[in-house]
Amino acid sequence: MNAPDRPAAMPHVMNTYGRLPVALTHGRGCWVWDTHGRKYLDGLGGIAVNTLGHAHPKLVPALQEQIGRLIHSSNYYEVPLQEQLAERLCAISGLTKVFFCSTGLEANEAALKIARKAGHDRGIERPEIVVYDNAFHGRSIATLSATANPKVQAGFGPLVEGFVRVPLNDLAALERVAAERPNVVAVFLETIQGEGGINPARWEYLQGVRRLCDARGWLLMLDEVQCGLGRTGKWFAHQWAGIVPDVMPLAKGLGSGVPVGAVVVGPKADVLGPGNHGSTFGGNPLAMRAGVETLRIMVEEGLLDNAARVGGLLKAGLERELAGVEGVVEIRGQGLMLGIELDRPCGVLLQRAADAGLMISVTADRVVRLVPPLILSADEAAQIVAILCPLIRAFLAEAQ
């Protein structure tokens, strides 16, 4: 996306992202400013990371205090803040144990190791894990193997084996896997696919998968790295379906911008012991404080209700302004995790939205994604609609 006549702005940084020529200097609430003093409404939240927006007046002093006290110790010692955050995560999920790491892919790696270990513990020497079309689980060798996107995998083979892939929301396909593959130990999916284009697993489907997992002794592993932690209006997206998973990887929004990852498990998945897994940074006091304070402030400020209510307004506004527009395929998602699927690739909208003062993302080539901070106000939601919808209409009206 860098214009070809423009010299690279970051010549010593590996070119792994197509970056817009915008550099942010600071933010406040749902607004960010760049080096030219231009102001943007943040519809992206650092990709579902900035739960509390920017420079939250309660989070900043808590983190400052923690930095002055202790940033990192080591997992050779007890870290009381780990227990505090783990206890909270168990309370809101109904699960029982937590392993801490720093990113989403690490949380998913831990989930994959747990599934394999649970299989080996049951005498299954070559365990298999069911994964999904259009899934995204990260960019390590194992998690990119679980991911379905050929662009993520291209050039990095051989892939890790032991995955069986099925389509989303097709219980019959999963039942066929159950009938044909005795070595399956777990089913692994995003409750709402993020990078794959904001594709929700249907509630009845999730309930059916839960039943099948129980009948087969499989672990149900729900990647809530993007859709979890209040984004859909409940703590976790699967709670809309009234089910509880066995394994739940988390990251993105958990530290409100400070890197925190976690895998939360129930009793059937409590299979790792000393020496089985680890992470130097995982669970360090700064990260844990960020998680504890994020969850506390979310409750204090009623951000689950806010995500549901303002997300509903945002979706209704998009539906109203894009009703009947040719080229709009579908508006999907829940709470403040919304996607607008168009009938053609629309990456160009990223720059146009930035030019108009709005941060968004485009995923799966054709889906405009909105994952703003959970503090978004109704007025800010209306501003997103007012900036974005005319851009989409103008884009779709252009000759192809």
Give the residue numbers marked as catalytic: 136, 223, 252
Choose between 56 and 137: whose C-beta lies nearer to ligand PLP.
137
State in angstroms the smallest separation of the CB of 370 from ligand PLP.
Answer: 14
State in angstroms the smallest separation of the CB of 6 from ligand PLP.
Answer: 27
Assess contact for 314 and 336: CB atoms under 8 A.
Answer: yes
SS3 per-residue string spanning 285-347: HHHHHHHHHHHHHHHHCCHHHHHHHHHHHHHHHHHHHHCCCCCEEEEEEECCEEEEEECCCCC
Choose between 229 and 389: whose C-beta lies nearer to ligand PLP.
229
Tokens of 392: 């989409």
Tell me how far apart the alpha carbons of residues 384 and 223 are, in angstroms, rounded to a whole number.
28
Choose between 111 and 298: whose C-beta lies nearer to ligand PLP.
111
Give me the sheet containing 261-265, strands edge to edge: 97-101, 261-265, 247-250, 219-223, 184-190, 128-132, 163-166
State in angstroms the smallest separation of the CB of 396 from ligand PLP.
Answer: 27
Residues of the shown chain interacting with ligand PLP in the complex, contacts defined by CB under 6 A: 103-105, 108, 136-138, 190, 194-195, 223, 225-226, 251-252
Tell me how far apart the alpha carbons of residues 78 and 251 are, in angstroms, rounded to a whole number.
22
Choose between 199 and 383: whose C-beta lies nearer to ligand PLP.
199
State in angstroms the smallest separation of the CB of 39 from ligand PLP.
Answer: 27
Q: Within its chain, how far is the Cα of 256 from the centroid?
A: 13
Lookup result for tokens 């080229």: 327
Choose between 143 and 383: whose C-beta lies nearer to ligand PLP.
143
Assess contact for 238 and 222: CB atoms under 8 A.
Answer: yes
State in angstroms the smallest separation of the CB of 241 from ligand PLP.
Answer: 17
Lookup result for tokens 């894009």: 322
CB burial class (10 A; 0-12, 13-18, 19+) of residue 95? buried
Lookup result for tokens 């395929």: 329
CA distances from 372 to 30, 48, 247 (A): 8, 6, 26
State in angstroms the smallest separation of the CB of 109 from ligand PLP.
Answer: 9
Tell me how far apart the alpha carbons of residues 262 and 199 are, in angstroms, rounded to a whole number.
23
Tell me how far apart the alpha carbons of residues 338 and 232 are, in angstroms, rounded to a whole number.
9
Choose between 253 and 327: whose C-beta lies nearer to ligand PLP.
253
CA distances from 292 to 249, 283, 385 (A): 17, 11, 33
Closest residue to ligand PLP in the complex (CB): 104
Choose between 43 and 138: whose C-beta lies nearer to ligand PLP.
138
State in angstroms the smallest separation of the CB of 250 from ligand PLP.
Answer: 10
Assess contact for 222 and 191: CB atoms under 8 A.
Answer: yes
